[in-house]
Amino acid sequence: VLAPVIATPAYQTNGHAWFVMGFIHKELHKQSGEYGADAPERVSAATCLQRAMQMGMNASDREMANEAMDFLARSYFREAIGMVEGFTWGATDEILALFGRYEAIQLALDPGKNMLAQRSDLNRYLGQAHALLLDSDSGQNPDELQAIFEAAIGHYEEALRSNPEDYATQYNLAITLYNQGVRKLKTIGHETSMFELMEVQDVCIQLFEQALVPMQNAHRKQPERLETLKGL
């Protein structure tokens, strides 16, 4: 009923109409059980409520709209974190898209909000999720394992760009680099040629040297941590 009315010029700038439409889509989203960054009812709900805020509302409508937007934002955030906790290879793009929706709503509610810390945390969690996948022995081929390793390092480095002093990111980056070196060492067997042995050793030394820097950084941040001392 509302859709053709809200499309008319008289209602295009009516904040209350867009507010009501946003609530309709929010309830349809809740009833449908849809999920994903592009879930249509959830996207429509956020779009309509943002339009209502731009058009202007009375104080009561604005308060309810803020609460509804907060609900939608948290639903995107919970879904992203759920996918990180149950991480599977290839899920990164959807996780980042979900977080992007969450971030956009948060900035719509508070344009001055700094999201760097949360984005840094997300990248650290993604780095850890990739590292756990490497340790799980879930049957990936060597090329996939290398891609997962590079993705893990990339997420840790992205996290450090936003928060270079974070102890957990520095420590986990060091451990992931070190463990990759250990995995390389374990490929050496009685059939390994001398040339292959030297090549593996060179790669391992490089990984261990790379691991030393973030481990030292983590140690400087929290010098009494036993895990870091063991790592060094």
- Neighbour count for residue 107 (Cβ, 10 Å): 14
The rounded distance, in Å, linking the Cα atoms of 35 and 13 is: 30
Task: Specify the pLDDT at position 138.
Answer: 65
3-state secondary structure 95-146: HHHHHHHHHHHHHHHCCCCCCHHHHHHHHHHHHHHHHHHHHCCCCCCHHHHH
The tens-digit pLDDT sequence of the chain (232 residues) is: 988 988 888 888 899 999 999 999 999 999 998 999 999 999 999 999 999 999 988 999 999 999 999 999 999 999 999 999 999 999 999 999 999 999 999 999 999 999 999 999 999 999 999 999 998 876 678 889 999 999 999 999 999 998 999 999 999 999 999 999 999 998 888 888 888 889 999 999 999 999 999 999 999 999 999 999 999 9
Contact by Cβ (8 Å): 7, 17: no
d(CA 159, CA 80): 17
For the entire predicted model, the pTM comes to: 0.87
Residue 30: its pLDDT value, please?
93
